[in-house]
Amino acid sequence: MIEQQISSQGQNAIQPDRPKKALHNRVNRRELKEKMKNDPVKRVTLSFYRYSHIPDPVAFRNELYRWWDALGVLGRTYLAQEGINAQISVPEENFEQFKLLMNSYEMFRGMRLNIAVEAEGKSFFALTIKVKDKIVADGIEDPTFDPSQTGVHLNAEAWNEACQEPGVIIVDMRNHYESEVGHFENAITPDVTTFREELPLVADMLEEHKDKKILMYCTGGIRCEKASAYMKYKGFENVFQLEGGIIEYDRQVKAKGLSNKFIGKNFVFDERLGERVSPDIIAQCHQCGKPADSHTNCANIYCHILFIQCEECSKKYAGCCSDKCMDFNALPAEIQKQQAPGMVFNGSKFGKGAYKAFRKAGGTLHGE
């Protein structure tokens, strides 16, 4: 059984009896968000992943939920037979116990924990652990593909040196709304909205450059684990990846006083939606066009489209993406609920990260 995999040291470090709380959060999202804003507990925000075979992800998910809930862990985690992908926060006072627990699982020993540099611990307000087919949706169906055959991992110093080599190709393996606010100097930033879409696109794009050195990077490293393996699967031999992604690169640059080759913000998948890596602002407000790089979700919960908004437009449109959403959001909640099924907003038309397609078509987010 899963619980037998936990050492007695790991269990006792938390509490003598196995926690018996519910395996799902049952509190309203808005209530949880408000509770987190007023919570004085200091928290550590972190992310991690590990490709490792999990025979029974459902049973493991339930066990993990019990222990993490007992430790006050919040955040979003995906589990699959291929491994784990987590973005969470842990009460500072329980962080050592959390590490002890994770190390009590053999599959997690020695796993890198990417600690957020800017976070104040308000990154998440609920614990969600979901079982998926894959921890990163890649669209790869070939059973002969081996994700363990990755490229060479480079630390921040080695990465900086490699970036200066003549003829090297640097590829951003994130989505366009991530690279829009920040990316490495001279990097290729594919205009995609999903990792599944990006993998074959990058392989086709670089088909004539199989003899060149390919440097790949992403947020925390998990996408590049598969991306570099995929490139090798496609016949690329000289493939390298940034170890620990932009998060670890930023930490090493600051800790060692290295030259920073990343420009702008690093998009992160929590309530902050970004960590400042350099002072440069390379994006524009999607409503007025002024320099801005702060992502937000439309305040109209029936739209919720992700877009970039400057402070002036945030005040002007009350955190909404359009006049239509602003007017609708001012209605009483009950009226919103009645009218929403028959309405179409930017979010329901274009979805997450698809505002670029909307703007290319000649639209403006504030025009409705």
Task: Please list the active-site residues.
Answer: 218
DSSP secondary structure letters along 122-158: -S-SSEEEEE-S-SS------TT--TTS--EEE-HHH
Q: Quote the CA–CA distance of 121 and 145 in Å, as a whole number.
A: 38
Q: Quote the CA–CA distance of 103 and 225 in Å, as a whole number.
A: 22
- Sign of the Cα pseudo-torsion (40, 27, 342, 332, in order): negative
Q: Are 50 and 103 in contact (CB under 8 A)?
A: no
Those residues with Cβ within 8 angstroms of residue 292's Cβ, 6 or more apart along the chain or in another chain: 281, 283, 284, 285, 308, 309, 310, 311
Q: Where does the chain have alpha helices with state H?
A: 8-12, 29-37, 57-71, 95-103, 156-163, 176-179, 195-205, 222-233, 245-256, 311-316, 323-329, 333-339, 346-350, 355-360
Instruction: Take residue 157 and report the two structure tokens written for it.
Output: 């110093």
Q: Quote the CA–CA distance of 25 and 127 in Å, as a whole number.
A: 7
Pairing of strands 169-172, 114-115: unpaired
Q: Are 299 and 319 in contact (CB under 8 A)?
A: yes
Helices and strands, counts by H and E, the chain: 14, 14
Q: Are 41 and 121 in contact (CB under 8 A)?
A: yes
Q: Are 321 and 366 in contact (CB under 8 A)?
A: yes
How many residues can be counted in the chain? 368
Instruction: Take residue 319 and report the two structure tokens written for it.
Output: 């955190």
Query: C-alpha angle with apex 173: 170 to 177, nearest 5 degrees?
Result: 115
